A and B are shown apart, each in its own frame.
Chain A
Amino acid sequence: MSFSDVGNLMCLPFDEIESGEPTDVHEYLIQAAANQLGPDGRNWIPVIVKETAPDQYQVIGNSFVYAVAAEAGLAEVWCIIADDLPETVAISRSLAQEVLPKTNLSIASREEISAAVDYVLHQPATPLKGVSHASLVARLDEAPRQYWKNLQPITKLGCRITGGKKLKALEEVFYLTPEPMPEVITDRKILETLTTQQLKDMAKKRDVKGLSKLKKADLVELLAAA
């Protein structure tokens, strides 16, 4: 028999639970739910807590329920005891919709990109007004995003997304785990995203002579042909 409480549903005294990351939902929702719950009610949706010391707990998920319990003045709160791994905190907060889960743009499929972009475009105050969902998804899908080190190249896709507010909105849902650039690139699309200097360096490594006169388009042509 295990003596650990991990995984158990327990009725804990409110004083033993300290708040974790506080919830940011509107006060009205907390007040109204607290009135419905009342001081003698039972919170059927439990708070997720971890044990920090004997008889000491901290909220890691469903902090909205905790806030409502505090407002209603419950003496005892129903809680599920979770372990204290960092992943547990992350998944609890994602499942309770307290944080926005992110998509890895380096390896995401077209469907995943489409859903993420759709989400951003449907936020009430989205800064991405006038951005076409279809264009952005098609161009992101075809871009060499496995090599991107940040989201800056999105501004070059010609989808009315400029650095600043608009790019920030996309940073909310996307993150990157870039692969290193391969030594030899012949894919025209990737070459075109590089600067002229980078292209010249690459050509030098391949012992190409007479680079100084060449323009970017010529360099791309040269490297793509190799």
Chain B
Amino acid sequence: MSLEQAFQSLPPDAAEAVVESIFSKPFLNALGFSDEEIVPKFGIGKWAVDQAARKNTGDDIFLHTQNDPYLYMEVKGRPANLSGEMYPDHRDTVLQLKRYLLAPSSKSVKWGLIMNSLHVQLFRKHGKIVHPVTSCLSLEGNLKQVVKLLRQHIGSPPKALTIALYNNKGGVGKTTTTINLAATLTLYKKKVLVIDFDHNQSDLGDALNLSPLKNKVLGVLKGKSANIRDIITPYKLEHPSLKEPLGFDVITADDAFSGELDEAKLRQIVKLHDLHKALESLKNDYDYILIDSPPNWRLFAQKAIYAADVVLIPARHDNLHSLQNASTAITQFIPAMREKRRAVQESGPIVLPIFMNNTPTRSAPFQVALMHNAIKKIIVKSKSETGFDLTHYFYPKYCKGQKNLDMVSVPYMAYIPRADFMHMPAAFAFKPAREQYQNLVKEYFL
């Protein structure tokens, strides 16, 4: 039976078992997996995912060996509403898929699909991060296009995860965190590109003793004259005890944007999606692309968020505005960019739990209580005004029956600003600082 026929033969209220028996196999076949490359009810520890698939290589027939799965698909019945991310059915299904993808035995899996034969959405796994790649795509009437789109994605998995560091409050440590995350990821043998997109300050280049670019970025963004590879500067740390130099690549800020710029004029010549497009060609060269975005909600910040797969928001416990602004970014700015990308069938960035920078080492209980109270107010306010539940963005470990107020944090350390004066990342210069960032990296990404 062809996919089209299978689709037509499904009753309008087909239950999960019906969708499974009639539609799942033709659908995976259409995505390029033959019958020997599909295993239904694939066991993952104590759970089982509805379908798992992988291309056969030589004698290694997936149906027989059942090792190294490449793609999981979680199937639901038609009554389960998967048409948008605001529906509870969708949320539960995604949580289920995430649990499967992040299980220790799923190391080799790169992709996850959720599907109820009416809608389908593709997710990618990169280290510890699971993020949506496409929007919730409707299969009705455009089966062929959707299958083609999914095949394109699944056939060529990009190597890189693009992370934007953003908070529209300044001084929360975006640049410092960017540099040190890059340095720490390098220590885990990851290839990293850092983009300083805060052209007004160009602090990132300065912190590494790299000089800013002169009128080059505009050409790259316009995508005509220049190649993005030409404006990459490598940062290297050489030391007698290192066998080979440690380092990562940097695109420094551009002087041409630093002065007073007429934003309206700039908007006439560059587009929102041009950074996203420019990075496309680099996505197989790097494991991580970090974008240090400026502290405002203007053109460059928007471009950075638009281009990202995930957004990491640093905040400070002693700065109320940094917390409030984080909530504004999550409830308004980032959804706006997601809306734009959904228009082209992509998903746009997800937001990682907010991370607290410069927390005091010796706990000052009254100050901590002050912060928790402020966060409580923010959560209540956003719930009543926009219906957005921010609890998990602030308290990632908060769950049923457990009031766990632990936050992801990096404490204040004199080493971190001191490294700035030495023009090198603190994670390279000082072991205690390195260990803090190692924890951060493991918490989020590895």
- Point out residues on A near B: beta carbons under 8 Å: 110, 114, 118, 132, 134-135, 137-139, 141
A224 shortest CB reach to chain B, Å: 13
Q: B127 in the interface, Cβ–Cβ < 8 Å?
A: no
Bound complex: CA A54 to CA B165 (Å): 68
Q: Considering the chains assembled together, what is the distance between the CA atoms of A8 and B411 in angstroms?
A: 51
Min distance, Cβ B398 to any Cβ of chain A, angstroms: 14
A134 and B436 form a contact (CB under 8 A): yes
CB distance from B106 to the nearest CB of A (A): 15
In the complex, the 4 A-B pairs of residues with the closest C-beta atoms, listed nearest first:
A138-B435, A134-B436, A135-B435, A134-B439
Q: Max chain B CB contacts within 10 Å: which of A114, A135, A137, A141?
A: A135
Which residues on the A side are within 8 Å of B168 (C-beta)? none
* A–B Cβ pairs within 8 angstroms, 16 of them: A110-B442, A114-B439, A132-B432, A132-B435, A134-B411, A134-B432, A134-B435, A134-B438, A134-B439, A135-B431, A135-B432, A135-B435, A137-B439, A138-B438, A139-B435, A141-B442
With a cutoff of 8 Å between Cβ atoms, the chain B residues found around residue A135 in the complex are 431-432, 435
Give min CB distance, A142 to chain B, whole Å.
9
A221 to chain B, nearest CB (A): 13
Chain B residues, CB < 8 A from A132: 432, 435
Please name all residues of chain B whose beta carbon is closer than 8 Å to the beta carbon of A141 when the two chains form the complex: 442
In addition to A132-B432, A138-B439, A139-B435, 6 A-B residue pairs with Cβ atoms within 8 Å of each other are A118-B406, A134-B432, A135-B431, A135-B435, A137-B439, A138-B438
Question: What's the dominant secondary structure at chain B's contact region?
Answer: helix
Q: Write out the residue numbers on chain A whose beta carbons fall within 8 Å of the beta carbon of B406.
A: 118
Expressed in whole angstroms, the Cα–Cα distance for A134 and B415 within the complex equals: 15
Interface centre among A114, A134, A138, A141 (most CB of B within 10 A): A134
Residues on the A chain within 8 Å of B442, using CB: 110, 141
A139: nearest chain-B partner, CB-CB: B435
Task: Report Cα–Cα, A44/B431, bound state, in Å.
Answer: 53
Q: Once bound together, how far apart are the Cα atoms of A195 and B373, in whole Å?
A: 53
How distant is the Cα of A138 from the Cα of B406 in the complex, in angstroms? Answer: 18
Closest to A122 in B: B363
Please give me the residue from chain A that is nearest to B397 by CB atom: A115
Q: In the complex, which residues of chain B have a beta carbon less than 8 angstroms from the beta carbon of A137?
A: 439
Cα–Cα, bound, A135→B411 (Å): 12
Bound together, the chains give a CA A107 to CA B436 distance in angstroms of 22
> Considering the complex, which residues of chain B in the window 76-97 have a beta carbon less than 8 Å from any beta carbon of chain A?
none
Closest to A118 in B: B406
Set of chain B residues within 8 Å of A139, measured between Cβ atoms: 435
* CB-contacts of B418-446 with A (<8 A): 431-432, 435-436, 438-439, 442
**CB-nearest residue of chain B relative to A136?**
B435
Q: How far is the CB of A94 from chain B (nearest CB, A)?
A: 16
**Minimum Cβ distance to chain A for residue B194 (Å):** 23
CA distance A118 to B438 in the complex (A): 16
Interface string of B406-417 (1 = CB under 8 A from A): 100001000000
| Bound CA span A139–B434, Å | 11
Residues of chain A contacted by B431 (CB below 8 angstroms): 135
**Cα(A8)–Cα(B155), bound, Å:** 58
A7 to B438, CA, bound (A): 47
Scan B313-356; emit 1 where CB is below 8 A from any A CB, else 0. 00000000000000000000000000000000000000000000
A135 CA to B435 CA, complexed, in Å: 5
Residues of B within 8 A of A134 (CB): 411, 432, 435-436, 438-439
CB distance from B131 to the nearest CB of A (A): 21
Give A114 to B411 CA distance when docked, in angstroms.
16
Q: Which residues from chain A contact B435 at a C-beta distance below 8 Å?
A: 132, 134-135, 138-139
The smallest C-beta distance from A95 to any residue of chain B, in angstroms, reads 13
Q: Using CB atoms, name the residue of chain B closest to A135.
A: B435
- Identify the closest chain B residue to A137 (Cβ): B439
Question: Taking CB as reference atom, which chain B residue is nearest A109?
Answer: B104
B295 to chain A, nearest CB (A): 27
Q: In the complex, which residues of chain A have a beta carbon less than 8 angstroms from the beta carbon of B438?
A: 134, 138
- Nearest chain B CB to A112's CB is how many angstroms away? 13
In whole angstroms, how far apart are the Cα atoms of A215 and B411 in the complex? Answer: 40
**In the complex, what's the smallest C-beta–C-beta distance from B30 to chain A, in angstroms?**
38
Q: From A142, which residue of chain B is reached at the shortest CB distance? A: B438
Q: Which residue of B lies closest to A159 (CB)?
A: B435
Chain A CB within 10 Å, residue with most, of B411, B431, B436, B438: B438
The residue on B at minimum CB distance from A110 is B442
B20-58: which have CB < 8 Å to A? none
Distance in Å: Cβ of A148 to nearest Cβ of chain B: 20
Which chain A residues lie closer than 8 Å to B439 at the CB level?
Answer: 114, 134, 137-138
Chain A residues, CB < 8 A from B411: 134
Q: How far is the CA of A114 from the CA of B442 in the complex (A)?
A: 11
| Distance, CA A114 to CA B436, complexed state (A) | 12
Per the bound structure, the CA–CA distance linking A110 and B435 in Å amounts to: 13
